Amino acid sequence: MAASAARSRRETRGTPSKARADRRPARRARRARAPVTGPAYITRRIPTYELVSAEGLALIETHAERILKEIGIEFRGDEEALRLFREAGAEVKGPRVRFEPGQVRALCGTAPRSFTQVARNPERSVVIGGGNTVFSPAYGAPFVRDLEGGRRYGTLEDFANFVKLAYLSPWLHHSGGTICEPVDIPVNKRHLDMVYAHMRWSDRAFMGSVTAPERAADSIEMCRILFGAGFVEENCVILGNVNVNSPLVYDDVMSGVLRSYAAANQATVVVPFILGGAMGPVTPAGTIAQAHAEALVGVALTQLVRPGAPAIYGNFLSSMSLRSGAPTFGTPEPALAYIAVGQLARRAGLPVRVGGALTASKVADGQAMQESADSMMPAILGGANFILHSAGWLEGGLSMGYEKFVLDCDRLGMLHVFMKGLALDDNAFAMDAFHETGPAEHFLGTAHTMANYETAYYEPPLADCKSFEQWRDEGEKDSLQRASQRWRELLAGYEAPAIDAGVDEALRAFIAERKGAMPDMWH
Amino acid sequence: MAASAARSRRETRGTPSKARADRRPARRARRARAPVTGPAYITRRIPTYELVSAEGLALIETHAERILKEIGIEFRGDEEALRLFREAGAEVKGPRVRFEPGQVRALCGTAPRSFTQVARNPERSVVIGGGNTVFSPAYGAPFVRDLEGGRRYGTLEDFANFVKLAYLSPWLHHSGGTICEPVDIPVNKRHLDMVYAHMRWSDRAFMGSVTAPERAADSIEMCRILFGAGFVEENCVILGNVNVNSPLVYDDVMSGVLRSYAAANQATVVVPFILGGAMGPVTPAGTIAQAHAEALVGVALTQLVRPGAPAIYGNFLSSMSLRSGAPTFGTPEPALAYIAVGQLARRAGLPVRVGGALTASKVADGQAMQESADSMMPAILGGANFILHSAGWLEGGLSMGYEKFVLDCDRLGMLHVFMKGLALDDNAFAMDAFHETGPAEHFLGTAHTMANYETAYYEPPLADCKSFEQWRDEGEKDSLQRASQRWRELLAGYEAPAIDAGVDEALRAFIAERKGAMPDMWH
């Protein structure tokens, strides 16, 4: 993956106009560089799974266009967005915007198929789009959970812990955003501490605030301090995850935040968030068509704000329990949808965010790990480029689990190998080993085995494949108990990446100034 | 699936020559019929995942042919098998048999692409091959495990319990074979009790003994009592799972058992059993090529014994722990291999057995369910036709878990939905619901939701998607604890399918006679 990292740097920093802005992060990066043990991101060497035929995909697109023409979509309280759509030729009546078939897709045409999000350690910059996949931690939980402490509200210390655990994993590529809510910090100030934690305790790419346009602006301003204002103007250094108020509404906060990021040339992840049967039809095809319409309209708005601004076609669909009306995860209907969504995004020429290690389970038990596997694999098969919620998610997103986090990271390592595909070179076919052995003779001692065994198989550290007797004598620990030990060991061994003292001071001064200018708000 | 069940009956029993033989099972079936709550088998409506290109597959085939020509394969102690291969034109020197490129594949040409295994309840007959998938329980564990009793040797009572649990699951299609070893019965007699348990406590298709040719013969003889000798001559009613003594050896028991089943027109599942690095190369491509060679040679032998006899191209590959040398499961290398194996079998025109819900974990924890998910999904994507070890497997096959069994069955239900694919009809697109609602309006009360919600989403019974508070107040049970309660409830509610009293008596008499003719052997 060294080649990929190098390429990502070239793409980001190769043009002469950027040379000056580049100096600061490059210098900083040399000091901050942590041992790189995993790839910066995954370059897929497996094909996508073409679940739905081209005719089927065209049918979904047609229904999305019908929704946008016959029903339309509303931008509530955002006159600027309505103005942009009106000028682009859409039919605007009150907050309702309607589009002719093909119109929205054409507006998305200036969005890049792929873009680089630069990390403060340039070896950790990620390319989002095309044949690449980026894993990012879970996002948004108010609670955290660990085996000993149980479930409790998240704090800034928990937040920093998860940033550190993500930094320590060779199989995550991104530091994420609101990994958990630090509810010990006022709601109008915590975005400053969260962005700082990503910048200070990790050297990876990260996400900014989306809870208010001014908080998005603060997030971007902190990036200007870290990377330099000129660099930020020319490069994507932060992502904002913008959820659509499905069905078919963007409120002024969401569209305002989206416009803030786009105007600053930063990336938005546009995410229809649909619980089928509630915020969309109870049948997946209708929900997919709706989500397709909603996502494309959001991407179109980014392009009206600033043509060429990076944007990710996102999607978050879940099914519903017939017993309780609660969202369910790891079920087959969203799995099918995630694969189809990947196909639709490719046809639209946009990077796609879909899937994740999702579960409704309260603890990292069998249900949690199975549901997570079943939510993640369709994203892999569907060619997802950015996978939020790759590690830690519990309880439908209400809780961030320490044990779940490290268990999920182990599986991400396996997916790295899976996405390399099957090697079919002469070494892989091992004909020499067949000649060296013969019928009934074991391969353990062959030259081929000796040359290959250290790299042949991925073995997740938390999986137990010992003999029953050894496992029993070591205390019959299940994977949850082993994970509990593991995250504590990881945190104990954490060392922060270096940061330029002047930059750190400037960041802290900015935060202090912003906090001083606001009263504490707790709701 | 009613149509599929009907078609399976027609295929099996539609020819005039079989009319007489058909009467007995049909009459019996009317009495034995249990409430059918799940489909007899799955007719896939999703495409296979084409992981490896046609060129890559041809390269694997070429290497398999090189192995068979340059190294060859041994049939040890089976003069009849050697004679058959010699007469078919292979080069035979001592036990070693070598083949020219294309020769083995040509010999497999008479094997059916698809065949029906008739169950005593004809609504439960399964079609193995083509676009169909059949789920069968785990096979071969000496130990059983449940949450309260822990791990212990399996008994005939455990065996019967698992036959009953499989019978009760709407998501299994097959009763399996040696679900666990009933070690309380002498080793030379237990096959009689196992086959009887499948016949008596279930009405589904099942597998016979493979531990000795005479035990295979006993298994087939019991089928003649149950189905009628003429019927058995014309129809497949039993499967034998024959493991190759990899690398590149069939011992006389395995090839003898294979010949017994084929001669009786019954199906063999030919299974190279390879721990990569030990019984095959440590790199997957070489292992796949070896397994391809081994499987095709076994299928070729069935066709030399009796052209047209049903056979399944099987495969069991696992990776290896670098820490301990133990087999590992749910890892990415076998996952890639399973998909490629499915592609190879389709090119060879043979039904394929691959995958299963495999794990190295000792208990049904997060590791177990994740590894099982990751071992099963590639089989689904690869188009596997017969999936042994679909439920219950623990500890690398050493232990059969009661809780694991019911948890796995839940996931099989999800896979049923996944394999139906994405509906893209007018109802699925729900345009009426969009018109009935509008931006920001929920879909819960729409006519479309009302008409569809009961069947819209699969919800696995053991998954908990309740609120945290409800889950906490109900005792914070994890999925393992819920599963423990579930299997006990299922067994308590079990009712045996009816069986013809005369047939039952004849089966018992046969068993008594056979047991009386042998001393007890315990090893």
pLDDT digits (tens, 9 = 90+) for A218-257: 999 999 999 999 999 999 999 999 999 999 999 999 999 9
Question: Could you give the CA distance from residue B185 to residue B181 in angstroms, rounded to a whole number?
Answer: 9
Chain A residues with CB-CB distance to B440 below 8 A? 74, 245, 247-249
pLDDT digits (tens, 9 = 90+) for B290-328: 999 999 999 999 999 999 999 999 999 999 887 788 999
| Disruptive mutation site among B52, B344, B370 for chain A (greatest number of A CBs within 10 Å) | B370
Beta strands A143-146 and A150-153, pairing class: antiparallel
Angle of helix B213-227 relative to helix B190-201, nearest 10 degrees?
Answer: 30
Question: Could you give the CA distance from residue A499 to residue A69 in angstroms, rounded to a whole number?
Answer: 51
Question: Could you give the CA distance from residue B260 to residue A241 in angstroms, rounded to a whole number?
Answer: 63
- This prediction has a pTM of 0.93
Chain A residues with CB-CB distance to B465 below 8 A? 321, 323-324, 326-329, 360, 396
**Least CB–CB distance from B321: residue in A322, A335, A459:** A459
Give B340→chain A minimum CA distance, Å: 9
Judge: B278–A443 Cβ closer than 8 Å, yes or no: yes
pLDDT reported for residue A406: 98
CA distances from A252 to A278, A298, A316 (A): 22, 13, 20
Judge: B453–A277 Cβ closer than 8 Å, yes or no: yes
> pLDDT band at residue B27, thresholds of 50, 70 and 90?
very low
In the predicted structure, residue B35 carries a pLDDT above the cut 60: no
Give A305→chain B minimum CA distance, Å: 23
In the predicted structure, residue A360 carries a pLDDT above the cut 70: yes
pLDDT reported for residue A433: 97
Judge: B424–A337 Cβ closer than 8 Å, yes or no: no
Say which DSSP state B188 is in.
T
One DSSP character per residue, B106-164 reads: HHGGGS-SEEEEPPSSGGG-EEEETTEEEE-----BSEEEETTTEEEE--HHHHHHHHH
Question: Could you give the CA distance from residue B193 to residue A399 in angstroms, rounded to a whole number?
Answer: 50
pLDDT digits (tens, 9 = 90+) for B410-451: 999 999 999 999 999 999 999 999 999 999 999 999 999 999
Q: What is the residue type of A218? A: D
**What is the CA A490 to chain-centroid distance, rounded?**
22
> pLDDT band at residue A33, thresholds of 50, 70 and 90?
very low
What are the structure tokens assigned to A41, written together?
């991101």
CA distances from B216 to B230, B398, B452, B473 (A): 18, 23, 49, 53
> pLDDT band at residue A139, thresholds of 50, 70 and 90?
very high
In the predicted structure, residue A11 carries a pLDDT above the cut 60: no
In the predicted structure, residue B17 carries a pLDDT above the cut 90: no
Q: Are B101 and B69 in contact (CB under 8 A)?
A: yes
Instruction: Provide the 10 A C-beta neighbour count for residue A398.
Output: 17
Give B185→chain A minimum CA distance, Å: 24
By mean pLDDT, which of A318-332, A335-349, B376-390, B480-494 is the weakest? A318-332
Determine the residue of chain B that is closest to A341 in CA distance: B422
Question: Could you give the CA distance from residue B477 to residue B483 in angstroms, rounded to a whole number?
Answer: 10
pLDDT digits (tens, 9 = 90+) for B455-487: 899 988 999 999 999 999 999 999 999 999 999
| Disruptive mutation site among A283, A343, A420 for chain B (greatest number of B CBs within 10 Å) | A283
Give B218→chain A minimum CA distance, Å: 30
Judge: B431–A63 Cβ closer than 8 Å, yes or no: yes
Judge: A463–B290 Cβ closer than 8 Å, yes or no: no
Task: Decide: residue A517, CB within 10 A, 0-12 exposed, 13-18 middle, 19+ buried.
Answer: exposed
Judge: B282–A73 Cβ closer than 8 Å, yes or no: no
In the predicted structure, residue A12 carries a pLDDT above the cut 80: no
Determine the residue of chain B that is closest to A382 in CA distance: B49
Determine the residue of chain B that is closest to A364 in CA distance: B366
Judge: B433–A286 Cβ closer than 8 Å, yes or no: yes
Determine the residue of chain B that is closest to A330 in CA distance: B414
Question: What structural domains does chain A harbor?
Answer: 1-31+55-421+458-523 (3.20.20.480), 426-456 (no CATH)
Dihedral of the CA atoms A440, A444, A450, A455 (nearest 10)?
110
Judge: B428–A151 Cβ closer than 8 Å, yes or no: no
Question: Could you give the CA distance from residue B358 to residue B375 in angstroms, rounded to a whole number?
Answer: 6
Determine the residue of chain B that is closest to A319 in CA distance: B457
pLDDT reported for residue A323: 74
**Least CB–CB distance from B367: residue in A424, A472, A479:** A479
Question: Could you give the CA distance from residue B218 to residue A105 in angstroms, rounded to a whole number?
Answer: 68
Angle of helix B479-492 relative to helix B402-418, nearest 10 degrees?
Answer: 90
pLDDT (average), residues A97-125: 98
| Disruptive mutation site among A68, A376, A465 for chain B (greatest number of B CBs within 10 Å) | A465
Q: Are B226 and B238 in contact (CB under 8 A)?
A: no
Question: Could you give the CA distance from residue B449 to residue A165 in angstroms, rounded to a whole number?
Answer: 43
Determine the residue of chain B that is closest to A452 in CA distance: B282
Question: Could you give the CA distance from residue A240 to residue A242 in angstroms, rounded to a whole number?
Answer: 6
What are the structure tokens assigned to A379, written together?
């994203």
Q: Are A332 and B418 in contact (CB under 8 A)?
A: yes
Question: Radius of gyration of chain A from Cα atoms?
Answer: 23
Judge: B277–A456 Cβ closer than 8 Å, yes or no: yes
One DSSP character per residue, A225-264 reads: HHH-HHHHHHSB--EEEEEE-SSSEEEHHHHHHHHHHHHT
**Closest Cα partner for A377 from B53, B332, B392?**
B332
Chain B residues with CB-CB distance to A422 below 8 A? 51-52, 56, 284-285, 288, 336-337, 340
Determine the residue of chain A that is closest to B245 in CA distance: A440
What are the structure tokens assigned to B243, written together?
């493991």
What are the structure tokens assigned to B234, written together?
């014309």
What are the structure tokens assigned to A55, written together?
């005719």
